[in-house]
Structures are given as C-alpha cells and as structure tokens.
Amino acid sequence: MYGDCQVISSNMGTNINPNFNFISNFQHFSSILPKEENGVLRGKEDMESGSGSEQLVEEHQGIIEMDSNNDNVLHQNLKKKRYHRHTARQIQEMEALFKECPHPDDKQRLKLSQELGLKPRQVKFWFQNRRTQMKAQHDRADNAILRAENETLKNENYRLQTALRNIICPSCGGQGILGEPSLDEQQLRLENARLRDQLEQVCSMTTRYTGRPIEGMPMQPSLDLDMNIYSRQYTEAMVSSSDMMSMPSMLPPEAAHFSKGDLLIDEEKTLAMDLAVSSIAELVKMCRSTEPLWVRDSESGKDILNVEEHARMFPWPLNLKQHLINEFRTEATRDSAVVIMNSITLVDAFLDANKWMELFPSIVAKARTIQVISSSVSGHASGSLQLMYAELQALSPLVPTREAHFLRCCQQNADEGSWAIVDFPIDTFHDSLQHSFPRYRRKPSGCIIQDMPNGYSRVTWVEHGEIEEKPIHQIFNHFVHSGMAFGAHRWLAILQRQCERIASLMARNISDLGVIPSPEARQNLMKLAQRMIRTFSVNISTSGGQSWTALSESPDDTVRITTRKIVEPGQPNGVILSAVSTTWLPYPHYRVFDLLRDERRRSQLEVLSNGNSLHEVAHIANGSHPGNCISLLRINVASNSSQHVELMLQESCTDQSGSLVVYATIDVDSIQLAMSGEDPSCIPLLPIGFSIVPVVGSTVDGHPSPPPEDGVANSGCLLTVGLQVLASTIPSAKLNLSSVTAINNHLCNTVHQINAALGSPASIENGNTIAEPNNAPAPAPAPAPAPKQ
C-alpha cells in the first residue's frame, strides 16, 4: 500500500524553537536537510519541486510538519508524536484518479480531498510522491534492460574478435591477414609485371655477352585480374616500362623515420658546419661569376656550367665517389629574377619545410626537416643548419621524381643586405642512408636574396646536382636533359608567380569582392584552390613511388593509368582511377593555355563540357598576368534548379616555365562552408587539368622539330592531360576493364579535340591577337601525334 504519514506536534503554532535539534531525533532523515517555510519544516525535494520528503520507511512517503510553542515555551520538550496513515479507501481512490490523471489540477485535488476527508495539501503531496515513485520504478526497469543489452553486445564483440583472430586464408590455408587486399594485390601484380620485364632484359643482355642462355622466371598462373590483359612484353630494342616510370622508392618519406644511428653525431655536426662555410662561399662565387665558369647557350639564351672549370675552381672535399662519376649526369643552371617578397619572409619560407612546399607546390612533392644541427640562440635565422629530405617532381608519370637528403644552411651578409640559402649533400661523410631510384645528389645549390626597396627582393638561383643516368621517355628526353624540368629557370619562375599569389592572398584593400562575402572568405577560396593545385600535381606524378601502367607495348605511347585507394579526408573516399597522357603540339604554350583557361572556349569541346555551358560567378586575380586567376563557375545544366546547383572551382596560372589549368566540381554546401570562414581542408576535391610546358628543340616521333622562324627559339609545347574519376566508393573494390577503357577513350578524345580546336582558323585568329610574354610569333599549325587507344 502507498500512503502518507504525517508527524504533527501536540502544540500547534507558527514559530519553531531555533534551539531544538530536530534531526537528532530522527536519524533516518540524515539525508534530508530541513528548511523552514511558513512554519513548516520541508525536505530538500520539497524546496526544489514542491513535492513531499523522500521515503520514510521503504515505500511510505510523508510530510514532516512541526509547530512549536510561543516564545514563552520555547524550551519545552516536544511531546510524543502521533502518526496518521491514509486508509485503504483513500489510497484506492487516489490510485484510481492517478491512473486517469497523474497531474490533477487544483479543482480535482479539492474535490478529491473533500470526498476523502483530507486536506488539499495532503492530496497534492501524495500525487507528487506517487509520480516520483513511478519514475524511479521506470528508471530501474530501463537500467535493467540496458545492462542486459550491454552484456549481449560485449559477448558479440568477444565472439567476433575471436573469429577474426582465427581466420584462415582460403588460398594457402595459413593465417589470414586483416584488411582489404584486393587493390593491394592488384598493385603488387602490376609491380611484378614490371620486375619481370626488367629481369627478362637483364637475362637477354647477359646471354648476349656471356654466350650462355639464362632463362628468366617461369610465368605463374594468372589470377585473371582485369589489368593483366594488357601486354607487358617489350622487345630488346624497346625501352622497358621500368625505365620509363619511377620504381617505388626505397625510402618513402612517410617511412623514413631516422633512428639515432642515422642522425648526425657530434663529430659529423662539426664537419657539416665546416662544409656549410665552404658551400656558401661556392654558392656566392657561382652566382656572381661569369665566363669561363658559365657559358651562354646561343639556342636557349641560358647560362651553362663549364663542368671542368667548376671542378678546377671547387674541388669538393671528401668526395669518395669519384669512381661512380660515369654513372651520374651533371645538371647545372643559373637564373635571376625580382620577386615581390622581402628577404625575411623568403628566408622563413625556405627554413620551414611546410612553407617551402606551399611556395613550390608543383615542384616540391614532399619535404621534411629531419634534424636541426645548429640554430642561433636569439632565434635569428642566420647561422642555422638543418638536415632535410625532399622529393622533387615533374608533372608527368613519365619523368621519375628525385629524392634527396641534404643539409640546408642560411647565412646573412649584413653589410651587403643579402641572405644566402645553400643546400649541399650529406652522403659525402654520412652514407648510412638508403638511396632512391634513380639516385640523386644535390650538390651546392641555392639562392642569394638581395633586399630591394618597397619589399621586393632580387633572387639569383643556382641549381646544381648529379642524377643517375637512366632512360627517360623520348618525349621528355630533351625537356629533362636541358635542365628545364628541374632547373633554376623553373624554380625562379614559380617563385615569382607564387610571391604574387601570396601578395594577393594577404591583400585586404579589395573593394569589389562580387559574390564573395568577406576578405576571409576570399582567403579560404584561395587556400582551397591552392590545395587543388597541389593535389593535382602530386596525383599525376610518380611521387611517393606511385606506380603507373602503360596500356600499349609501343614505346611511343604516353598514356599511363594508375589506381589509388583513398581513405583520408580531402579527397573522395574509394578507388580513384587516374589517366595521364602527354602530347607534343606545334603551338606556343601560351596559345594552348589561352584556349584551355577560357571556360567559354573550353565548353565548346564536347569531350570536356558534355554539352554544358559555364558561367563565371566569382573571380579572384592572383597575379599581374591576366591568366593567373581563380574562378568559381556555375555549370549550366538543364537539370539545375534553385535546389540543385553544380559549381566548378578553377585556377589557371602561367609563367615563363609553363602553365597550369586545374579545375574540380564542388557542391554549393562546400563553397558556403569555405565562404563562412570555416576550415576548407576537409572539403573533398578530385581535380583534373592540363600542364603545358614550352620546349626548345623538341622532337616529334623521335626526330628533331623544324628550326624556329626568325631565330626565335619556340618550337612548340608539351601538353599533359590528367584525368581522375571515382571508380568505386568502396576502397576494396577491384578495377574492371570497362572503367579503364572508358577513361582511355575519354583521354584520347580530349587530346584530339584540343588539337583540332588549336588548328581551326578561329583559333589561329584568336591566337595571333594575344601577346605572348616573349613576343614570339606562333608557328604554323601542323597535325600533332595523339596517344594510341
């Protein structure tokens, strides 16, 4: 039975004796702190919710009331209390009403109290206590259910873990490996095919020189992966795919964690600081010397290093690898330019690996500071020396990346107001590092930064290195061997453009922002476009040992495909299929760039526009050249409505070393996230685009191109098209033949339509009206070879 119990004093009054210790007479109420309200002691729950006290004994609830005598009887003892318990009928009637209405109003409580002979307050407190009881019962029942469910889940989890630990491989019957092996297995088989080609060539050469036949590895039964349908058999006279593409690096950056034995010890640090002094002196002299150290090339107009004179002037100390000199090819270039950035900011960017990567997003694929050898006590950059790692890239899978560990030193010449940043090799005295493929030694290289008025700097750059002589695809052979791929000219051209971009990024006095709501939103949009450029550059190169597959056995074919499994934020999760092709075009690179960056002209190419037109809704200029800009484009599709709008983010940039046009589709929510000031690094991007580089004395099908007219060195350009598609949203999915065929056909059609558009009379007229940076006339259009399907 549920009832209420009242404790009433024999002397009814309105005051309470302050000296009376009520709690000591009722020890079982220790959890209730009585407080006075209108002459009635009420528990804590009464003060908070107006309900009665906590339970008196088990299920019984009560109200404790006490009145004391007047002031003249304050010290009298309280007489014996008497209890009043609700009758069975009263409880039954209140229970019946509680089932119908747990929260009766004042009229219902008054009527019930009159029928039962109780006070309205007694009825009110009974209902409050009854509701509290019901809630406690429900909570106990819910807790019991949750505990049972929790126990069930724990048992299921334990069962699944046990099953995973005991998994058996169905192929070999051995211990299984957790993960998603389908895509990894496919990459391993592609790598196996390349290694088999290389082994067969080695066996063939050995047989030819020794006269004894040496057989290669026996062919293993195929697992019928879709990629294996493409022939990988090359004749002996052909260049193997392993020579065309970079093999996986033996020391990838993410795995190159140095142990204590790999870092420089104290004796080596002393030697490194001595070499830093001589390297800075060598760099300064190479930047300021003329003939006979540097000889002007009449064809390109660039300085070429006299290797013999350099060896006489700078006998490199501790050079223990002279016996390998025939295995390496020397590349050395020099250039000078004025950039819109002060020397302090430039020095800070060179000494910070992350800022250095952002300053050269299309050259520096990866960079990391391994060890700080020395630094100034005051925090000044002058005198700092640090061990660094870098991976340098060209924007094509046909050109291997160059990985190097080197020491970087910074020194200020306060009298001249200049800074020297020099990189020099570490393997002359610390040869415990594993070498990449192909091997690359960064000899004393760097730049001299001279302060100029108004925040400008004059930068003189020297790029000097030794690269292991390995075959390169013929279409890039001249581009790489001439120093245009990794030379000082390209470094400085990108530095000039990036300094202008950073100046635009930091600008706050932009009056017309268009649809961009604030300067912060403008900065976020520029950062998003910068990440898009960097992602595109890395994804179409051999960075990180990324393997590429040729679809044809012809050495002239330039189409390469690869797959990547993406699970990190920043790109769509799943299997990404990439295809890249490079084609020589007999047009100046600025003309090809102007066609591809113009969204209206590009939308006329059916393969790129899919019949849709583009409309620019936002424009950000980030350089002095009108082609250096970021655009937010609306894709005008018939299915577009106010509820569903498709947008495209595009950045185009150009300089003397080449041009880039990169774009990616993006949804409205992501753009609004970026414009609201939120971090745009989580927005997924899958960019596609074009890289255009000018070439001098290039070749077409292995034969030299015609000489330039009027003595102007402009023989055409190399157009690299990079496409990426999300083949599957499941990272473990296998690649199928239809996806490979579709992207290959799309790539070939893209190159054909671009070539046709450039050769049309309208394009020739438009190209002649555009001023080239060096004012060179455009050569007559001619058909260009296209990649084979």
Q: What is the mean pLDDT of residues 635-653?
A: 76
Band of pLDDT at residue 72, cut at 50, 70 and 90: very low
Residues in the chain: 789
pLDDT at 644: 66
Band of pLDDT at residue 692, cut at 50, 70 and 90: very high
Question: What would the pLDDT profile of 311-368 be if each residue is shown by its tens digit?
Answer: 888 876 544 444 445 678 899 999 999 999 999 999 999 999 999 999 999 999 999 9
Q: What is the mean pLDDT of residues 577-606?
A: 90
Q: Has residue 653 got a pLDDT over 90?
A: yes
Consecutive H or E run containing 7: strand 4-8
- 3-state SS, one letter per residue, for 221-283: CCCCCHHHHCCCCCCCCCCCHHHHCCCCCCCCHHHCCCCCCCCCCHHHHHHHHHHHHHHHHHH
Band of pLDDT at residue 395, cut at 50, 70 and 90: very high
Distance of CA 334 to the CA centre of its chain: 33
pLDDT at 27: 39
β-pair partners for 68: 15
Q: Has residue 249 got a pLDDT over 50?
A: no
> How many Å apart are CA 45 and CA 53, to the nearest integer?
6
CB 467 within 8 A of CB 440: yes
Band of pLDDT at residue 170, cut at 50, 70 and 90: low
Q: What is the mean pLDDT of residues 655-666?
A: 94
Percent of the chain with pLDDT over 70: 68
Q: Report CA-CA distances (Å) from 379 to 345, 351, 371, 421.
A: 15, 12, 16, 17
| Helical segments of 543-612, H only | 589-597, 599-602, 606-609
Q: Has residue 661 got a pLDDT over 60?
A: yes
Pick from 542, 539, 540, 582: nearest CA to 558: 582
> How many Å apart are CA 608 and CA 635, to the nearest integer?
12
β-pair partners for 333: 304, 463
In this structure, what are the phi and psi dihedrals at residue 576, rounded to the nearest 5 degrees? -100, 125
pLDDT at 154: 85
Q: Has residue 16 got a pLDDT over 80?
A: no
- Report which of residues 241 and 98 the model is more confident about: 98
Band of pLDDT at residue 566, cut at 50, 70 and 90: confident
Q: Has residue 80 got a pLDDT over 90?
A: no
Judged on CB neighbours under 10 Å (0-12, 13-18, 19+), 343 is: buried
pLDDT at 34: 42
Band of pLDDT at residue 642, cut at 50, 70 and 90: low
- Report which of residues 621 and 702 the model is more confident about: 621
CB burial of 355-366 (b: ≥16 within 10 Å; e: otherwise) equals ebbbbbbbbbbb
> How many Å apart are CA 332 and CA 293, to the nearest integer?
11
Mean pLDDT of the chain: 75
Q: Which of 85-99, 174-188, 294-308 has the lowest mean pLDDT?
A: 174-188
- Report which of residues 659 and 18 the model is more confident about: 659
pLDDT at 772: 43
Q: Are strands 60-64 and 4-8 parallel, antiparallel or unpaired?
A: parallel
pLDDT at 26: 35
Q: What is the mean pLDDT of residues 230-234?
A: 35
CB 130 within 8 A of CB 98: yes
pLDDT at 766: 57
Distance of CA 217 to the CA centre of its chain: 40
Band of pLDDT at residue 541, cut at 50, 70 and 90: very high
- Report which of residues 671 and 15 the model is more confident about: 671
pLDDT at 321: 46
Q: Has residue 733 got a pLDDT over 90?
A: no
Question: What would the pLDDT profile of 491-532 be if each residue is shown by its tens digit?
Answer: 999 999 999 999 988 887 776 667 888 888 888 999 999 999
Q: What is the mean pLDDT of residues 419-444?
A: 80
